[in-house]
Chains A and B, each alone.
Chain A
């Protein structure tokens, strides 16, 4: 798969969506819906909810494609993935059906079996991030994962971990700072 060509194709399609081209929205959908649906499904763990959120995500892309600015250097798939994740987490929180997985489960290291890799570029970014997460206290890395994949907030993390809110905040902040430093190495 040619990463640069994919990225250019997606960027161009988003530009056309911003200009009101509905056919371009379908091209964006064809190129990205499996990835974004995977994200919605992972977070919501409910196919019908995930489908509903996915529709909402593409309608949002339709309205907001103009706010994607390729010149800022963020890849279009990152922008879209962040949008899908945010929507799915909003839905999860609204449904109150979340936070039923134990933090211990989440804190477990990910399945070491590599997924069918999307691109070498993504693999490298993932490898670097997991390496940096691995340098944190395991519980702290678990909090980052629980927030990312399961929509935990400071308050729900503190409750789940039985720690004072202020303590949880300082743990997570320190973990984020260490992540940033590690990723910049």
Chain B
């Protein structure tokens, strides 16, 4: 465990309290914070001020690369590198290559979705400071609604941030170390 706290964790009683807390924290200018809830809460991404995900771009680019690679590979192999005649078709029979092109596009696209999502979420990781909280470990997957603010955030100030969270109706505020 490090010496300095890496994040401050606040527990809220209801989804509503968490939702409003997120709005306030967002409006106060915090960026490096996260909300933790046992189930999805409609509109929470807006309350947190999250930008649209970048995953679609990863999927698009990888999907197109996969499709281009699939078509290119077959054109090169059957047309250039080892020209072969299959069922009296020309060397460059793009029609025959469509299924593989499609499959590789989908494969790369979906791999981009999965690994892009994991990468952007910085997963997998073995542990996270929030798990050092007893309250978090017992309630986060059950009936607790949490908000964590990283101390790396430019707006973070030990006293002010704790006050802010307490003022928003947090049941308890903890400072967690690595």
To the question of whether A and B form a pair in one complex, the answer is no
Chain B residues in the interface with A (C-beta under 8 A): none
